[in-house]
Structure 1
Amino acid sequence: MDETWIYQFDPEPKSASMQWKRPSSPPPKKAMVTQSSAKVMLSCFWDCDGIIMTDYMEKGKTVTGEYYSGLLKRLRSELARRRREKFRSGVLILYDNAPAHRARQTVETAERCGFEILPHPPYSPDLAPSDFCLFPN
């Protein structure tokens, strides 16, 4: 599991910006695409087979123990629906030491859902696959 900020903008596809031109003519001028100031927090749960569940946080909200407990409950139902065979053999969860992840409400919800939380040493590098595979730039 990992959280990341993503920007809300739609880049123009390459096919939409194609133009006919002569070989001797200069390349067409193109306006620079800039990211909008609006951004949203994406929470992503995945396993070795791919993404299980994503959640986009509403603007103006923060990640709390209550919010994260709700995500864990949704994750349990998604696992039962999508990865039933893995759900039966036990689920290990690895995430960083953010306060919402260590909150008592979150830990109790994880235990009720049958999840085992793997320890994440403090000050260790957070090298989540989503940092490299999902969002390469």
Structure 2
Amino acid sequence: MKAQTKDMCTQLLELYNAEGEAFLQRILTGDKSWVHHYDPECKAQSMEYRHKTSPSPRKFKVVASARKVLFTIFWVIERVVHMEFLEQGQTVNSERYISTLGVLKLRLRGVRHDKDSILQHDNPCPHTSRQLRTP
């Protein structure tokens, strides 16, 4: 596996040496992170009419860790191409990742008509499954 990684790095460096800045513009980057999910009220939504002598309403603090969701995002040098939140109860497996890549491919066509993109993403198991590597 390390030899494959070294070969890939060598190929990418050769592409960069040949293409320069154009190579960097072909890179499509993806990442994911757990984010807190909550909808706090804005100031206007929380306003209410009350008399001067009325007690002020009690506000409850929103607990940021009330719910976490997995956020996935893909971007190119110009803009964000695709982002999604993993539904509660779902897991990232090869089928889910293939589905995400399918949507990403469609969105990428709308953004870059003339460029072949190079996907740079992390390497957990669903991303390297045999299903994903077969064309």
Q: TM-score, normalised by structure 2?
A: 0.61
- 1:29-82 CA-to-partner distances (Å, cap 9, x unmatched) read 97544215222111111111121111211211111111101111111111112x
Among 125, 128, 133, the residue aligned to 1:99: 125
Among 71, 83, 91, the residue aligned to 1:54: 83
Q: TM-score, normalised by structure 1?
A: 0.60
* Distance of 1:39 and 1:45 partners within structure 2: 20
2:12 aligned partner: none
The alignment status of 1:74 with 2:103, answered yes or no, reads yes
Q: Secondary structure at the match of 1:105?
A: helix
Q: Which has the larger radius of gyration?
A: 2
- Structure 1 gaps, min length 5: 19-28, 113-137
Higher helix residue share: 2
- The one of the two structures with greater contact order (alpha-carbon pairs below 8 A, sep at least 6) is 2
* Distance of 1:79 and 1:91 partners within structure 2: 9
* Distance of 1:72 and 1:11 partners within structure 2: 32
The alignment status of 1:84 with 2:84, answered yes or no, reads no
Aligned length: 100
1:34 aligned partner: 63
* Distance of 2:132 and 2:66 partners within structure 1: 31
* Distance of 1:48 and 1:94 partners within structure 2: 12
Is the CA contact 2:32–2:72 (under 8 Å) kept in the aligned structure 1?
yes
Cα gap change, 1:61/1:78 in structure 2, threshold over 3 Å: closer, same or farther? same
Among 10, 13, 23, the residue aligned to 2:39: 10
Q: Percent identity?
A: 31
